[in-house]
Amino acid sequence: MKAGLVAAAVSGVPSTAAALATGRDPLEATKAAGTLLVGERAPTLLQVAAAAPVHLALSLAWAAVLERALPRERRALWGAAGGLAIAALDLGVLGRRRRAIRALPLIPQLGDHALFGAVVGLLSDRDRS
């Protein structure tokens, strides 16, 4: 649980930094996540508010999967790879149904997912022996 909470808190750093560096809206990914709960026509403030429970629920669920699936050795590296696999599903399959998610720049989103998985791997101390 702790690994998922920390990973959820820091995983948006790559896309936020990229947005700030390129002059894009730093809340673009946040609003896109919120559309999963309230839809794309909802007011921006509602999308931002809805993003927190959506992001937290997805993060905790994926962290639980990663914590159980990662091998004992090199957990951060395997976690990053797992985060990219999650990105393929989240962004490439499920998220493609949402215009707001399709519109997000891909590389920063991949960075978010890889960082998420790496943090889960670093902080999860599951004994696999």
Summarised one tens digit per residue, pLDDT across range 92-108 is 898 888 899 999 999 99
Please compute the mean of the pLDDT values over residues 23-33 and round it to a whole number: 96
| pLDDT confidence bin for 126, thresholds 50/70/90 | low
The secondary structure element, H or E, covering residue 91 is: none
**What is the pLDDT, as a whole number, of residue 97?**
87
CA dist list (Å): 63 to 46, 52, 69, 122: 26, 16, 10, 12
- Kindly report whether the global pTM for this prediction surpasses the value 0.75: yes
Asked whether the predicted pLDDT for residue 129 surpasses 80, the reply is no
Beta strands in 1-129, from DSSP E residues, in sequence order: none
pLDDT more than 70, % of the chain: 97
For the chain, give the mean pLDDT.
Answer: 94
Asked whether the predicted pLDDT for residue 42 surpasses 90, the reply is yes
| pLDDT confidence bin for 54, thresholds 50/70/90 | very high
Rounded CA gap, 55 and 8, in Å?
Answer: 7
Structure tokens at 103: 């519109």
Torsion of CA 48, 1, 106, 103, to 10 degrees: -20
Sign of the CA dihedral with 87 first, then 93, 98, and 99 last: positive
What pLDDT digit, counting tens, does each position of 76-87 carry? 999 999 999 999
pLDDT more than 90, % of the chain: 88
